[in-house]
Amino acid sequence: MFLAAIPLLGYAVFARFLANGFRKEISVDAETPLSPISVILPFRNEAKVLSSCTSAILDALGSTDQLVMVDDSSTDESLTMARELAGKDARVTVLQADGEGKKAALEVGIAAAQNDIIFTVDADVYPQSHWPAVMLQAFTEPDIHMVCGNVHIKQTESSISTLWEAIDFMSLVGSGRALTAQGWAVMCNGANLAFRKSSFERVGGYTKHKQIPSGDDVFLMHEMMHAFPGGVVPASDLAYGGVETLPQKGFYKLFQQRIRWAGKGVSYTDKHAIFVTWLIGGLSLITTILGVLTIFWVDALVSWLILWVGKAAIDTVLLSTYNRGYKRQIPLWAISIQALLYPYYTTLIAVLAPFVKFSWKGRYLSRSAKE
């Protein structure tokens, strides 16, 4: 019982650290004119959503902004649709990636960017109010090199998998924001990320981690933080200036995506990222092991319940803080249930990630495969 209380107490301290970071105000200069931006949108086989997504993005951009769309070897009508759009709007540039994978597509787009402030987005995002102005405000300070924006799941349907994903995303984005605000640039999301092109070039872009599937956002963030201490910040506003992205189609697709994301964890070199990965993964693994032990060893029951229910209670309070701050209105009962199931979900992904190949846009990759 005592041994279970020790990691739980440590996690409670960490959760308080997150809650304080999440609420931390990000000061910006709202009076300085905002710079023009270049939005880089890599796409592969996105014909179903590309038109509505790009229309929403263009509606949010100014007349001096630029949208660079980069095709990553699409096999559907995506490239044709993009070229038709470019013919109607002078702000749009359409290119094709030289190599294969998202990083290669982003590199082509960034090289073609006409403005120093770069935004990266995914091909299925829809901007919220005041995007990209909220993201841009921080760049009025010359020592800010990267701004990490909010990304939420667009709840287009009331399925259990969509609700689960919405909570999971909120947990990741909220914790990423909290850590970044506290000076721990650990995680971000490339679906809403902004940085200076000049800074990107100074840190060598994606070169150091180009062989790793996924991670175009997180590894770049770590490089920026190491090169420019204090130069990576979250967006200034909690409820506005983010984007919404479409949910995965069911638990199978969601599980594949999470395995793809988890695979990059073994390549982390940032001490804060390693600490957070081991803290969350370790607590989940201990909870799972204790739960299994109760089948054979009844004395483990009390320790398991203390750790399992205690961590779920802490997570429920923390996620409720994120929920209110983001104005997401996710029901408390759903947050509580997910908090109870999360250790086993996390453990399963962590155990399978090193061994399972995943598919992404019709490509099957392992964690060490070139994206």
Confidence tier at 52 by pLDDT (50, 70, 90):
very high
Q: How far is CA 317 from CA 12, 180, 321, 323, in A?
A: 11, 20, 6, 10
Say if 280 falls within a structural domain: yes
Measured in residues, the chain has a length of: 371
Distance CA 364, CA 328 (A): 34
Whether residue 29 is found in the same domain as residue 172 = yes
Distance CA 6, CA 233 (A): 32
Whether residue 201 is found in the same domain as residue 292 = no
Phi, psi torsion values for 341, nearest 5 degrees: -85, -20
Domain boundary among 214, 241, 264: 264
Say if 192 falls within a structural domain: yes
Whether residue 63 is found in the same domain as residue 174 = yes
Whether residue 38 is found in the same domain as residue 170 = yes
Bridge partners (DSSP) listed for residue 243? 127, 151
Give 348's DSSP letter: H
Whether residue 337 is found in the same domain as residue 309 = yes
Say if 371 falls within a structural domain: no
Reply yes or no on whether the pLDDT at 2 is more than 80: no
Short-list 221, 229, 213, CA closest to 192: 221
Whether residue 259 is found in the same domain as residue 244 = yes
Say if 76 falls within a structural domain: yes
Whether residue 109 is found in the same domain as residue 39 = yes
Q: Nearest 5°: CA angle at 176, between 5 and 359?
A: 100
Distance CA 153, CA 138 (A): 24
Q: Which residues of 219-248 are buried (b: 16+ CB within 10 A; e: fewer)?
A: bbbbbbbeebeebbbbbbbbebbbbbbbbb
Whether residue 7 is found in the same domain as residue 40 = no
Short-list 197, 230, 3, 9, CA closest to 106: 197
Reply yes or no on whether the pLDDT at 368 is more than 50: no
Q: CB-based contacts of 96: which residues, under 8 Å, 6+ apart?
A: 70, 71, 73, 79, 108
Residue type, 75: T
Whether residue 193 is found in the same domain as residue 83 = yes
Domain boundary among 264, 289, 306: 264
Say if 284 falls within a structural domain: yes
Domain boundary among 264, 288, 305: 264
Position 358 scores a pLDDT of: 59
In 133-251 the beta strands, taken as DSSP E runs, fall at 146-148, 151-153, 192-196, 232-234, 243-245
Looking at the structure of the chain, the number of domains it has is 2
Number of neighbours of residue 122 by Cβ within 10 angstroms: 20
Radius of gyration of the chain (CA): 21
Q: How far is CA 208 from CA 197, 212, 269, 367, in A?
A: 17, 9, 12, 16
Residue-wise pLDDT tens digits, 283-302: 999 999 999 999 888 888 99
Distance CA 16, CA 351 (A): 28
Reply yes or no on whether the pLDDT at 5 is more than 50: yes
Whether residue 211 is found in the same domain as residue 234 = yes
Whether residue 170 is found in the same domain as residue 296 = no
Distance CA 35, CA 79 (A): 29
Reply yes or no on whether the pLDDT at 257 is more than 90: no
Position 213 scores a pLDDT of: 65
Helix (H) or strand (E) segment spanning residue 280? helix 271-296
Position 359 scores a pLDDT of: 59
Helix (H) or strand (E) segment spanning residue 126? strand 125-127
CATH of the domain at 171: 3.90.550.10
Confidence tier at 365 by pLDDT (50, 70, 90):
low
Structural domain of residue 222, as residue ranges?
24-264
Position 364 scores a pLDDT of: 56
Whether residue 100 is found in the same domain as residue 181 = yes
Say if 252 falls within a structural domain: yes
Phi, psi torsion values for 184, nearest 5 degrees: -105, 90
pTM: 0.90
Confidence tier at 370 by pLDDT (50, 70, 90):
very low
Say if 370 falls within a structural domain: no
Position 356 scores a pLDDT of: 67
Say if 69 falls within a structural domain: yes
